[in-house]
């Protein structure tokens, strides 16, 4: 590796001024790399831009762009990853997130080791915003590399994102080829972006370490998009990310039709499982469950082709007061928990 690897870190900010110093400092303190930071204030109007200007005045590696009018997060994200970067690698990080020590160098090492890798990600720690930052696993990292197409197929099989934005770093050259974020995927634009990037090469995962902190608080954009109506909105946006990807890149995927069927069956099954869980817990809400069933039906058509439909119908016949205590149904609920534990462990070990 000739010279230090260079990273351009874009930090969109909308009324997160109080959180900016922690985010920016976590980037500037990275060792073994050269960094540039661009804070993009999306017309916050609450003093956030003043904080950004103070940070830029204190360190020449920081610059600020101020929008006169609010452009929204999708346009701002695209500005951050397309208009700004000139270094080796690109990172888009929210103003309410932070990097762990050594995160960028760990990513650079994997990129250098594997020139075929176009995207590197790792684990992100849920963080409540308190000081000091919680302890993090900071190395050495174990490198796991997935074939891009196989990684993509896994995402369609699961129907869910596996990488938090502050923990995802891309090769700038590849990011420029892939383009910006898609406005149709309002709440899953990152999911669609990671899948799109995987079409260009291999995907790397940094195991046994923590790469970033994701902050949760009342103003967080992701928190605002909380699950309503049993989570139908979440399921719809996940499906949309996958269908948008296929619309753009279906000609690059010989098995595009199979991928579409796979993700539709997975998300329809997820919807029905959510209804079943509400019976198991005795918390069934008729309106929410009706919307989940309607989503499943419009997604796959024939619900009878899904095993989850038949177990749900049994629960409905028994009613919520009885279903959670019936032995066969208790077994299926326990089975779901075991499968989730297995998935979580696989995610931690291999990132998929």
Task: Write a three-state SS string for 181-204.
Answer: CCCCCCCCHHHHHHHHHHHHCEEE
- Domain assignment present for residue 282? The answer is yes
Compute, in degrees rounded to 10, the torsion defined by CA atoms 6, 149, 79, 7.
-10
Is residue 223 very low, low, confident or very high in pLDDT (cuts 50, 70, 90)? very low
The pLDDT of residue 329 is: 55
pTM as predicted: 0.91
Do residues 37 and 113 both lie within one domain?
yes
The pLDDT of residue 243 is: 98
- Domain assignment present for residue 90? The answer is yes
Average pLDDT over residues 123-143: 91
By the 8 A CB rule, do 284 and 278 touch?
Answer: yes
Is residue 347 very low, low, confident or very high in pLDDT (cuts 50, 70, 90)? confident
Arithmetic mean of pLDDT over the chain: 92
pLDDT digits 0-9 by tens, 156-167: 999 999 999 999
Q: How far apart are CA 65 and CA 95, in angstroms?
A: 14
Domain extent at residue 156: 6-224
Do residues 102 and 204 both lie within one domain?
yes
Q: Is the pLDDT of residue 325 over 70?
A: no
By the 8 A CB rule, do 125 and 213 touch?
Answer: yes
Q: Of 189, 224, 259, at which residue does a domain stop?
A: 224
Q: Is the pLDDT of residue 190 over 70?
A: yes
Do residues 12 and 151 both lie within one domain?
yes
Is residue 129 very low, low, confident or very high in pLDDT (cuts 50, 70, 90)? confident
Do residues 93 and 67 both lie within one domain?
yes
Q: Of 166, 197, 224, at which residue does a domain stop?
A: 224
pLDDT digits 0-9 by tens, 135-157: 999 989 999 999 999 999 999 99
The pLDDT of residue 218 is: 46
Task: Give the residue from 296, 291, 295 showing the smallest Cα distance to 310.
Answer: 296
The pLDDT of residue 320 is: 64
Give 218 or 39, the one with higher predicted confidence: 39
- Domain assignment present for residue 1? The answer is no
Is residue 341 very low, low, confident or very high in pLDDT (cuts 50, 70, 90)? confident
The pLDDT of residue 314 is: 87
Q: Which of 87-101, 241-255, 273-287 has the lowest mean pLDDT?
A: 273-287
- Domain assignment present for residue 165? The answer is yes
Q: Is the pLDDT of residue 56 over 50?
A: yes
DSSP-H helix ranges across the chain: 20-28, 48-58, 73-78, 103-113, 148-158, 172-178, 189-197, 221-224, 232-249, 256-281, 286-300, 307-318, 320-323, 327-350
The pLDDT of residue 328 is: 56
Q: How far apart are CA 55 and CA 16, in angstroms?
A: 14
Do residues 154 and 40 both lie within one domain?
yes
The pLDDT of residue 321 is: 62
Q: Is the pLDDT of residue 342 over 80?
A: no
pLDDT digits 0-9 by tens, 240-274: 999 999 999 989 999 999 999 999 999 999 999 99
- How large a percentage of the chain has pLDDT more than 90? 78
Q: Of 224, 240, 272, at which residue does a domain stop?
A: 224
Is residue 226 very low, low, confident or very high in pLDDT (cuts 50, 70, 90)? very low
**CATH code of residue 165:** 3.90.550.10
Give 248 or 128, the one with higher predicted confidence: 248
CA 252 to chain centre: 23
The pLDDT of residue 283 is: 82
By the 8 A CB rule, do 178 and 133 touch?
Answer: no
Total structural domains in the chain?
Answer: 2
Q: How far apart are CA 337 and CA 282, in angstroms?
A: 17
Do residues 97 and 21 both lie within one domain?
yes
Q: Which of 29-43, 156-170, 321-335 has the lowest mean pLDDT?
A: 321-335
179 three-class SS: coil
Do residues 182 and 89 both lie within one domain?
yes
The pLDDT of residue 211 is: 98
Do residues 210 and 279 both lie within one domain?
no
Q: CA distances (Å), 160 to each of 21, 94, 195, 248, 267, in order? A: 31, 20, 11, 19, 9
Q: How far apart are CA 10 and CA 333, in angstroms?
A: 43
Q: How far apart are CA 204 and CA 194, in angstroms?
A: 12
Do residues 249 and 203 both lie within one domain?
no
- Domain assignment present for residue 277? The answer is yes
Q: How far apart are CA 210 and CA 212, in angstroms?
A: 6
Q: How far apart are CA 198 and CA 218, in angstroms?
A: 33
Do residues 236 and 187 both lie within one domain?
no
Do residues 50 and 127 both lie within one domain?
yes
CA 328 to chain centre: 35
Do residues 139 and 21 both lie within one domain?
yes
């Amino acid at each position: 590796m000739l010279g230090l690897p260079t990273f351009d870190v874009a930090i969109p900010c909308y009324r997160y001024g109080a959180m900016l110093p922690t985010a920016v400092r976590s980037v500037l303190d990275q060792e073994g790399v050269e960094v540039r930071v661009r804070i993009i204030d999306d017309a916050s109007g609450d003093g956030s831009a003043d904080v950004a200007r103070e940070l830029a005045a204190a360190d020449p590696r920081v610059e600020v762009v101020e929008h006169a009018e609010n452009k929204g997060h999708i346009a701002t994200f695209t500005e951050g990853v397309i208009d700004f970067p000139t270094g080796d690698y690109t990172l888009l990080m929210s103003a309410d997130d932070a990097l762990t020590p050594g995160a960028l160098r760990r990513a650079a090492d994997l990129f250098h080791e594997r020139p075929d890798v176009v995207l590197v990600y790792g684990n992100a720690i849920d963080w409540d915003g308190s000081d000091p930052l919680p302890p993090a696993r900071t190395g050495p990292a174990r490198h796991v590399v997935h074939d891009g197409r196989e990684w993509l197929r896994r995402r369609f099989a699961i129907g869910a994102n596996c990488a938090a934005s502050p923990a995802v770093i891309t090769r700038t050259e590849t990011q420029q080829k892939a383009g910006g974020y898609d406005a149709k995927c309002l709440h899953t634009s990152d999911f669609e972006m990671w899948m799109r990037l995987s079409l260009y090469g291999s995907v790397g995962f940094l195991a046994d370490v923590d790469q970033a902190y994701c902050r949760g608080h009342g103003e967080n954009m992701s928190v605002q998009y909380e699950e309503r109506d049993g989570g139908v909105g979440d399921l719809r946006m996940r499906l949309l990310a996958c269908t948008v990807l296929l619309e753009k890149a279906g000609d690059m995927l010989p098995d595009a039709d199979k991928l579409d069927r796979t993700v539709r069956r997975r998300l329809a099954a997820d919807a029905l499982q959510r209804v079943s869980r509400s019976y198991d817990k005795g918390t069934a809400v008729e309106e929410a469950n009706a919307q989940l069933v309607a989503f499943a039906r419009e997604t796959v058509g024939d619900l009878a082709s899904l095993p989850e439909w038949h177990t749900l119908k049994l629960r409905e016949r028994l009613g919520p007061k009885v279903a959670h205590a019936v032995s066969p149904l208790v077994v299926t609920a326990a089975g779901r928990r075991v499968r989730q534990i297995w998935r979580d462990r696989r995610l931690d070990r291999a990132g998929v």
